[in-house]
Amino acid sequence: MPCLNWRKENTPQRPKERRQCTHRESLAQFLAHNTVLSAGGTKMKTTHLCSQVGVTNTETELQLSVLLDQFSITAAKKVYLLEADTALSPEETAMEGVGQPAKMKCLEGPHLNQGPAKSCGSLAPEKELVSASHLEEEEENEEGEEDLDPDPDLAPGPEEEEEEEDEKDLGDPAVLSAVHNTQRGGLSSPGIKIPDVLGMSPTSLHFLWQTLDYLSPVLFRPKFPSANSPACHFGHQLLLPDPSLFCSLPTSWPPKFSLPSHLTQLHPQHQRLLQLQQHSRMQSPPAKKPWSQQPDPYANLMTRKEKDWVIKVQMVQLQSENPRLDDYYYQKYYQKLEKKQADDELLGRKNKVESLKLVTPYIQKAEAYESVVRIEGSLGQVAVSTCFSPRRAIDAVPHGTQEQEAGAASSQRLRVLHHIEKMFLQLLEIEEGQKDGPPQPCYSEQQSKQVEKLFLALKTQEQNNLEEAADGFLQVLSVRKGKALVARMLPFLPQNQAVSLLLAITHHLPLLVRRDVADQALQMLFKPLGRCISHLTFHELLQGLQGLTLLAPGSSERPVTVVLQNQFGISLLYALLSHGEQLVSLDSSLEKSNSDYTTWTDMVVLIAWEIAQMPTASLAEPLTFPSNLLPLFCHHVDKQLVQQLEARMELAWIY
């Protein structure tokens, strides 16, 4: 059978030529064979196959070869190969067996794209039909096809060697043998194992697969009456390259009229305009032949191989170890898009339009080279030229310690800012490790270590003195970004560390409040601190409040007064009081422990008195007003005061 012997026949030709005419000839042969069979009028399943391919007579076959000349042959070969390969596997006599490589193929190919199940689904039935027909052909015709098996192995042999030399050549034969051998490899093991039959490394082979896969959807489109189907259909899942589409491909590739894909956001007016245009186009020339315009004689000067090469180069530039980090915005955008589509689908929009995702090739990086070599004993550096950078400039790497700037206030501020930046980087790493989900105290060892490190960095800041350390912390908090850092860090910290931060904040609350006048950014700390407060013990709570109520030496004013005038301060205070009240009401034993409880009552009274003293206008509005505050005051304070408080607090709240 000619179609099975195509490789054998073409072996004696010279390698270069073989590359060019093999495929065209082989496909022509294959088609010729099938046309002969169908012309013979035998009631074979090949007629079904032929009708699929769209070849019913020699005229269309000629047309086909013309078309194949003009367009990419790669995808066509892919189809052919798939069919041929199933034929070349005589050991799989059962239908299942043949169905399997098809499925495995489709698993391998588009596995990085969406909808592998879908494409499998569409792939499988056609495959089965094809393979079934082939099998029956074989069974009916010749026996002893085992000898064919070693031949394909031999035939690609010399081809492979050529391809090894020609690494960058993503050309057809490479693809051809890649596909061929992948198929064979796939047959032997159900897993996705690419055998090292070829000289190419598995990863580059893998990449070739992806090249094929993203190429195929472009070329094969559903057969619409107008050939100018808009490009938005490209957004579909990977369609099976339907052989029946050969005839419907228009001359110019890609189509002249292309709507931007649904991935692009258009101004609504623009969108309406384009839609109108599209409609008018669809309506007006339904009779227009696809080849209405003069065929461009200069078309395809840039061959498929060259286009693939450029794409490959661009893809290589895009590869990254961690796309979530490197390509953050695109990944997030794509996630949003997918979610939106899923929602749309749920709502009943019948169109399941799956958008393609950019799949960057995973090519193993060449072993790290040093572009700059330091020879011991010599001054300066020597630039080593490699294939990546023929003449790379010498890196200006500073050696030695940086100068210590002493004293200047600006340098101090710069140091603080620099420190905040370093800590922020650590925080971002932690957040990244915590993928998708609310931040929570980490469970993995590595993350805990990172968090620990960050906390130490924040707390100690390379200061020897405890006071200075606290001062450093306050300096961090004086910067807006520092506040953001602490706010984002708090959820990750274990309780005891979070509490220590909270206590530090409450102790220095007046100072922080004063420094925050410009930014007004303390608010962002409220939520995480609130969460921390709800886990406080009574004793810790008292510690926190004590800082506020104690009279600072050398000032007649209590810190509370200042705190009450600031929104964050008053909110924090209220939160603390509310939590205290909750603790007391829940655990009656606390009332027994005298010292703590008396301190508590004293504090409550003091605070109540301060609130009452404060003119209503200067009383700040809290972010949240806990409901158990007034009852708390009722417990400890006389009625008159309570009424005063009520009036003030509610007024302030209403405002």
- The residues of the shown chain that bind other proteins, judged by CB under 8 A, are 214-215, 217-218, 231, 234, 252, 254, 256, 258, 260-261, 263, 296, 298-302, 306-307, 310-311, 313-315, 317-318, 330, 333-334, 355-358
In the bound complex, what is the minimum distance in angstroms from residue 651's beta carbon to other proteins? 55
User: Which CB atom, from 289 or from 374, has the smaller least distance to other proteins?
Assistant: 289
User: Which CB atom, from 172 or from 516, has the smaller least distance to other proteins?
Assistant: 172
In the bound complex, what is the minimum distance in angstroms from residue 265's beta carbon to other proteins? 13
- Distance (Å) of CA 183 to CA 89, 102, 138: 10, 9, 19
User: Which CB atom, from 122 or from 300, has the smaller least distance to other proteins?
Assistant: 300
What whole-number distance in Å separates Cα of residue 507 and Cα of residue 369? 53
325's tokens? 């980090």
User: Which CB atom, from 315 or from 490, has the smaller least distance to other proteins?
Assistant: 315
DSSP state of 518: T
In the bound complex, what is the minimum distance in angstroms from residue 436's beta carbon to other proteins? 20
In the bound complex, what is the minimum distance in angstroms from residue 68's beta carbon to other proteins? 18
- Distance (Å) of CA 346 to CA 357, 433, 593: 21, 31, 59
How many CB atoms within 10 Å of residue 215? 20
User: Which CB atom, from 330 or from 655, has the smaller least distance to other proteins?
Assistant: 330
User: Which CB atom, from 300 or from 601, has the smaller least distance to other proteins?
Assistant: 300
In the bound complex, what is the minimum distance in angstroms from residue 101's beta carbon to other proteins? 27
User: Which CB atom, from 123 or from 215, has the smaller least distance to other proteins?
Assistant: 215
In the bound complex, what is the minimum distance in angstroms from residue 258's beta carbon to other proteins? 7
In the bound complex, what is the minimum distance in angstroms from residue 358's beta carbon to other proteins? 4
Q: Provide CB contacts within 8 A for 632, sequence distance 6+.
A: 577, 578, 580, 581, 604
CA atoms within 13 A on the CB side of 102: 29
User: Which CB atom, from 191 or from 285, has the smaller least distance to other proteins?
Assistant: 285
User: Which CB atom, from 314 or from 411, has the smaller least distance to other proteins?
Assistant: 314
C-alpha angle 474/480/486, rounded to 5°? 60
11's tokens? 């072996």
User: Which CB atom, from 217 or from 472, has the smaller least distance to other proteins?
Assistant: 217
In the bound complex, what is the minimum distance in angstroms from residue 319's beta carbon to other proteins? 12
User: Which CB atom, from 95 or from 299, has the smaller least distance to other proteins?
Assistant: 299
In the bound complex, what is the minimum distance in angstroms from residue 53's beta carbon to other proteins? 25
Nearest 10 degrees: Cα torsion 204, 209, 210, 216? 150
- Distance (Å) of CA 601 to CA 140, 255, 579, 627: 100, 81, 14, 19
- Provide DSSP, 340-387: HHHHHHHTT-----PPP-------PPPPP--SEE--TTSSS-EEPP-S
What whole-number distance in Å separates Cα of residue 204 and Cα of residue 606? 75
How many CB atoms within 10 Å of residue 175? 25
C-alpha angle 271/273/277, rounded to 5°? 115
User: Which CB atom, from 43 or from 267, has the smaller least distance to other proteins?
Assistant: 267
Burial class of residue 249 in the structure, from the number of CB atoms within 10 Å of its CB (0-12 exposed, 13-18 middle, 19+ buried): buried
| Count of residues making up the chain | 655
Torsion sign over Cα 479, 485, 488, 489: negative
DSSP state of 142: -
What whole-number distance in Å separates Cα of residue 76 and Cα of residue 66? 13
414's tokens? 């710069």
User: Which CB atom, from 29 or from 70, has the smaller least distance to other proteins?
Assistant: 70
In the bound complex, what is the minimum distance in angstroms from residue 361's beta carbon to other proteins? 11
In the bound complex, what is the minimum distance in angstroms from residue 252's beta carbon to other proteins? 7
What whole-number distance in Å separates Cα of residue 584 and Cα of residue 570? 21
In the bound complex, what is the minimum distance in angstroms from residue 121's beta carbon to other proteins? 22
* Amino acid type, 307: K
Of 219, 213, 293, the closest CA to residue 256 belongs to 293
User: Which CB atom, from 273 or from 425, has the smaller least distance to other proteins?
Assistant: 273
In the bound complex, what is the minimum distance in angstroms from residue 54's beta carbon to other proteins? 24
364's tokens? 């193993």
| 525 three-class SS | helix
Of 207, 212, 257, the closest CA to residue 238 belongs to 212
In the bound complex, what is the minimum distance in angstroms from residue 284's beta carbon to other proteins? 12
Beta bridge partners of 372: 383
What whole-number distance in Å separates Cα of residue 459 and Cα of residue 447? 18
